[in-house]
Structure 1
Amino acid sequence: MFAAKKLLLALALTSAAGYVQAAPVTLDGAAFSVTYDDALVGLFGTPTLSGNTLFFTPTSFKAISTNGAGVSLASQTSNFDILLKPSANLRLTSIDLNEGGDYLMMGQNSFVNALGQMRVRNNANPSMEIVGSIAPAAPLAIKDGINHNWAAGANADLNSAAWNNVGSARVTLENILLAYTQADTGPQMAFAEKKYSGITFNVSPVPEASTWSMMVLGVGLLGYLSLRRRNQQ
């Protein structure tokens, strides 16, 4: 009975310790802050905010298949919330993702790829979402048994009127590395590793009320002049 109580206490402490370790972390920048759950970054590793770019330099995000082992997958998905500072008087215009790493293939029946998605969702209106596919800038196709670099990226354009006043957004980053070798075809190796992911939040100043008034007045004046010319013809 005493042993059972000790076991239950140990399990409770372990669970509590795991709960305490999972906590939101906020990185504060000049124009905005980025918040994430430190228990959910996984293979990405701990991010760093430098200027307008949130970046990761993972050390164990890799997929390996050798000598017909079949498909090997390494994947990770995590969320990052960006909150613009009202005092900065800025708006989000676009979000760019740039990634890179290296790969190695040996044998004609070896294959690697790096792919995924970047999703941007309006926190105030979750039905507003932009999805960008992540794909390599060039095919990962060299099979000479030597390491080669790869690069990939995605973009979310937030310049539409619907996103003009968005002050907070959630970025969901999904990364997948794939390595494959086919059985019974001799010595083979397929290896892909991610070494960098950078999410850049591009912002621009929000026009002052006087600027908007001048723009509306200008459009109205152009419309009046156009109508007047038509009437004079």
Structure 2
Amino acid sequence: MKKTITILVSLFALALPAAQAAQVRLDGATFDVIYDDALLGLFGTPTLLGDSLIFTPTTFSALSSSANWAFTNATIGLTLVADSGFTLSSVNLVEHGNYLKFGGGGTVFAAGQTSTFDFRTPGTEVSSLISGAESSVLSVHDLPVVTSWEATSAQSFAAGATEVHYTLQSLLAANAGGAGGLAFIEQKYLSLTTVVSAVPEASQYSMLLVGLGLMGGLFKRRRSA
């Protein structure tokens, strides 16, 4: 009897749909953002505010209390799709966080890279390093003072881009320099601001050509006079 019940429970479990990752689409004013909610990792669930996709990580950190390096990294992939009548121009990234070090030999740093490819030419990928993070977090403190760091990156797209895949990789690292020391760094905020451009409608082109024709005719008359 137990064996029969076990088999029935197993068959029932197999019949249930497996929990699968879902594609999430955030609808913005001029573009949409698509991502896999199971692949957000340490960044956490984002919020789209205007043209900016905002992340507020709570567990993205690296901590070391020895001479060994502690590394933490996370990668996300997003698809940006421009609304009808718009094209994608660029994405500007800003990262913020805190760090502290105790002891003379501690080191912390933040690094990363962004890369994109245009769906019109998927074999071509453009990459850009995230700058400002390393130089801003290497100051030595004798006391464990919490200090802020910031990093930025700008990624431009080819003219006329309407659908782009954007990948971001962020890395945090800490090394206390030896026993008795402490090194800690965390990321607390990340924003991706997408810049879009409006595509002039055909009627606007027609009005522009008519205007240029009238101005040309007027100029010709004045010369004749």
| TM-score, normalized by the shorter chain, greater than 0.5 | yes
Paired residues in the alignment total 202
TM-score by length of 2: 0.80
Tell me the CA shift for residue 16 of structure 1: 5.7
TM-score by length of 1: 0.77
Cα deviation digits, residues 19-41 of structure 1 (max 9, x gap): x2411111111111101000000
Cα deviation digits, residues 118-149 of structure 1 (max 9, x gap): 11111232123221101335431232311000
- Give the whole-Å Cα distance in 1 for the aligned partners of 2:150 and 2:17: 41
Corresponding residue for 1:74? 72
- Give the whole-Å Cα distance in 2 for the aligned partners of 1:67 and 1:178: 13
Within a 5 Å distance, the mapping from 1:40-189 to structure 2 comes to: 40-68=39-67, 70-86=68-84, 89-136=85-132, 138-140=135-137, 141-143=139-141, 144-158=143-157, 163-183=158-178, 186-189=179-182
Name the SS of the counterpart of 2:160 in structure 1. Answer: coil
Tell me the CA shift for residue 95 of structure 1: 0.9
- Alpha-carbon contact 2:91-2:192 (below 8 Å) kept: yes
Corresponding residue for 2:219? none
Tell me the CA shift for residue 67 of structure 1: 3.2
- Give the whole-Å Cα distance in 2 for the aligned partners of 1:164 and 1:22: 33
Tell me the CA shift for residue 153 of structure 1: 0.9
Residue range with higher mean Cα deviation, 98-107 or 122-131: 122-131
Structure 1 residue 196 corresponds to structure 2 residue 216: no
2:136 counterpart letter in structure 1 = P
- Give the whole-Å Cα distance in 1 for the aligned partners of 2:94 and 2:45: 17
- Give the whole-Å Cα distance in 1 for the aligned partners of 2:61 and 2:3: 45
CA, structure 1 residues 72+2, in 2 after alignment: closer, same or farther (shift >3 Å)? farther
Tell me the CA shift for residue 106 of structure 1: 1.2
Corresponding residue for 1:227? none
Cα deviation digits, residues 58-101 of structure 1 (max 9, x gap): 10000000133x11111111101011111xx1111111000100
Corresponding residue for 1:228? none
- Alpha-carbon contact 2:61-2:187 (below 8 Å) kept: yes
Name the SS of the counterpart of 1:207 in structure 2. Answer: coil
- Alpha-carbon contact 1:114-1:135 (below 8 Å) kept: no
Name the SS of the counterpart of 2:42 in structure 1. Answer: helix
* Structure 1 unmatched runs, 5+: 222-233
Corresponding residue for 1:29? 28
2:24 counterpart letter in structure 1 = V
1:207 counterpart letter in structure 2 = P
1:125 counterpart letter in structure 2 = T
Tell me the CA shift for residue 208 of structure 1: 4.1
CA, structure 1 residues 67+168, in 2 after alignment: closer, same or farther (shift >3 Å)? same
Cα deviation digits, residues 167-222 of structure 1 (max 9, x gap): 10011010100011233xx52111000001111100111234564986xx9xxx9x
Identity, in percent, stands at 35
Corresponding residue for 2:223? none
- Alpha-carbon contact 1:95-1:200 (below 8 Å) kept: yes
